[in-house]
Amino acid sequence: MTPTLHTSTDVPKLDRARETPLFRQIYERYRSAIEQGQLRPGDRVASARGLASDLGVARGTVEAAYNQLMGEGYFSSRGQAGTVVSPSLPPHRPARREPRHADGPVPGGSLTQPRDPPPLQLGIPALDAFPRKLWSRLVARQARAMNAADMFYGDPCGHPPLREAIAAYLLVSRGVSCHASQVLVTGGYRASLALVARTLLKKDDRVWVEDPGFPPTLEVLRAVGQHAVPVPVDDDGLVVARGLRKAPKARMAIVTPSHQAPLGVSMSLARRLQLLEWASQANAWIVEDDYDGEYRYAGAPLPALKSLDGHHRVLYAGSFSKVLYPGLALGYVVMPESLRTRFEEAARTWSNGSPQITQAVVADFMRDGHFSRHLKKMRLLYARRRAMLVAGLLKAFGDGVRIDLRSGGMHLIARFDQRRESDVSLARRAQQAGLNCQPLSSRAIAVHCDAGLLMGFTNVATAAEANRLAARLRAAFG
């Protein structure tokens, strides 16, 4: 592996007004960069001749600094291969920070290194089951075929083969009939929702949101200046009648009809038709976030709300984060044909689009049949892993836990008989034990929400692991 080359730009300009000799300033700045982790063991540094030229000092000044760094073990000479940060130095260990909350970034703006998701985290697909070797071959194939045109900006609306593959998949799997030109590729759900809100809404427009709901929806609406109107959810999904009483002239509703986030209920046909009728009469829009729509463990996946949209009021939002992996940062919006020109103009105004090579790989993955096979495999796998976590919880807690099992999704809701302790307190105990459970009550906006813990089960690989996690949770509760 070729070491990283660090040039003179990695060393701040010298302060000639200081009494500290110039060679000492060079020495101190390199040492500080190494100790802070900006330079790592094995990184190659600029040659003495090159650094001297860039800094405007004598070569002997730089050589004096380099000699001191080598004498103290910070640098190592490799002859004609140049000078590197000593490979024998221990790797930099950043200062300990509080754990990252699953629903938001660590405050303070400092950089953090990526790490494996903690056990029971929500919304993370089975990373151990992702077909990495196959994916690597597809990436390599695209890289070998890349030409000059592929290195330029692509269409901000999305890579055409990917848009075509998404349209074909939605027709077969979700019952959504659309042309590829109606599919717009984005950076994920948040990007999709922000694009929709900016394009269709005005400041302070009222928007129905599910209560309890998905926190990022509220965050995006607040950021773009819309007024969220919480509408309760029951066993049939969003209570449309309550929305009509609270804000009949709302401009939009955002729903998760296939698998409601977080309760897991599916919107009934009657409610779907009521919602569509309201949108048609009010000249409003519906954003269908197809949250976990692919993962249904009893019967075939439900048709999308968009498939019933005879009045063309529904915008369908999908994402690859939960079906492939979050690091792709790819999502898409299917818009009615009447909105296509407006959305194309908006996409070109606000974005250069997503990386073309990433989109091309996903397109190949879909067109070659790997995507549908992967989803089928994951449905079977997740059904087993859910059953293992349920068994582990029942073994650890017995009658002290009740588990809500819905027909699909990537998480379950566990309700514990822990005297009168809140689910927020229980979640805090679990998180202190390294288990990323989330309190159900924190997802409520205006309604009362029964206490419970949300647990992701997709990365619980074995029955033994499920038992260990459940036992750790039991110990955390005391």
The CATH number of the domain where 55 resides is what? 1.10.10.10
The share of the chain scoring above pLDDT 90, in percent, equals 65
The CATH number of the domain where 463 resides is what? 3.90.1150.10
When divided into structural domains, the chain yields a total of 3
Q: What pLDDT does 93 receive?
A: 55
Q: What pLDDT does 300 receive?
A: 66
Q: Is the same domain home to 424 and 440?
A: yes
Average of per-residue pLDDT across 20-40: 86
Domain's final residue, options 311, 339, 372: 372
User: Would the pLDDT of 301 be above 60?
Assistant: yes
pLDDT band at 9 (very low <50, low <70, confident <90, very high): very low
* pLDDT tens sequence across 363-394: 999 999 999 999 999 999 999 999 999 999 99
Q: Is residue 92 domain-resident?
A: no
Q: Is residue 98 domain-resident?
A: no
- Among the listed residues 413, 423, 408, 422, the one whose alpha carbon sits nearest the alpha carbon of residue 393: 413
Q: Is residue 93 domain-resident?
A: no
Stretch among 89-93, 325-329, 439-443 having the lowest mean pLDDT: 89-93
Greatest distance between any 2 Cα atoms in the chain: 82
Average of per-residue pLDDT across 132-150: 94
Q: Is residue 321 domain-resident?
A: yes
Long-range contacts of 68-71 (CB under 8 A, 24+ apart): 68/23, 68/27, 69/27, 69/30, 69/31
Q: Is residue 112 domain-resident?
A: no
Q: Is residue 206 domain-resident?
A: yes
pTM of the model: 0.80
Q: Is the same domain home to 145 and 254?
A: yes
- Rounded to the nearest angstrom, the gap between the alpha carbon of residue 272 and the centroid of all alpha carbons in its chain is 28
The share of the chain scoring above pLDDT 70, in percent, equals 91
The CATH number of the domain where 162 resides is what? 3.40.640.10
Q: What pLDDT does 405 receive?
A: 87
Residue 405's domain spans which residues?
Answer: 375-477
pLDDT band at 419 (very low <50, low <70, confident <90, very high): low
Q: Is the same domain home to 353 and 404?
A: no
Domain's final residue, options 85, 119, 150: 85
Average pLDDT in the chain: 89
Q: Is the same domain home to 70 and 12?
A: yes
Q: Is the same domain home to 197 and 223?
A: yes
Q: What pLDDT does 113 receive?
A: 62
Q: What pLDDT does 299 receive?
A: 67
Stretch among 10-24, 186-200, 230-244, 388-402 having the lowest mean pLDDT: 10-24
- Cα–Cα distance for residue pair 252/229, rounded to 1 Å: 10
Q: Is residue 118 domain-resident?
A: no
User: Would the pLDDT of 434 be above 60?
Assistant: yes
- Cα-Cα-Cα-Cα dihedral sign, residues 155, 157, 163, 164: negative
Q: What pLDDT does 75 receive?
A: 87
DSSP strands (E only) in 172-226? 183-186, 206-211
Question: Which positions ≥6 away from 50 have C-beta within 8 Å?
Answer: 7, 8
Q: Is the same domain home to 351 and 408?
A: no
* pLDDT tens sequence across 38-87: 888 888 888 888 888 888 889 988 888 888 888 778 888 887 778 888 88
User: Would the pLDDT of 10 be above 80?
Assistant: no
Q: Is the same domain home to 281 and 169?
A: yes
Q: Report phi then psi at 233, rounded to 5.
A: -120, 135
Q: What pLDDT does 28 receive?
A: 86
Q: What pLDDT does 8 receive?
A: 45
Q: What pLDDT does 13 receive?
A: 67
Q: Is the same domain home to 350 and 391?
A: no
Domain's final residue, options 337, 372, 407: 372
Q: H or E element: which one contains 136?
A: helix 132-145
Q: What pLDDT does 92 receive?
A: 63
Q: Is the same domain home to 363 and 461?
A: no
User: Would the pLDDT of 102 be above 70?
Assistant: no
Q: What pLDDT does 430 receive?
A: 94
Q: What pLDDT does 97 receive?
A: 44
Q: Is the same domain home to 338 and 389?
A: no
Measure Cα distances from 396 to 7, 416, 437, 455 in Å. Answer: 57, 12, 16, 15
Q: Is residue 120 domain-resident?
A: no
Q: What pLDDT does 332 receive?
A: 97
User: Would the pLDDT of 152 be above 70?
Assistant: yes
Question: Which positions ≥6 away from 365 have C-beta within 8 Å?
Answer: 135, 138, 324, 371, 374
**Cβ-based neighbour number of residue 46 at 10 Å:** 22
Q: Is the same domain home to 350 and 436?
A: no
Q: Are 454 and 440 in contact (CB under 8 A)?
A: yes
Q: Is the same domain home to 340 and 413?
A: no
Stretch among 10-14, 150-154, 290-294, 439-443 having the lowest mean pLDDT: 10-14
Q: What pLDDT does 82 receive?
A: 84
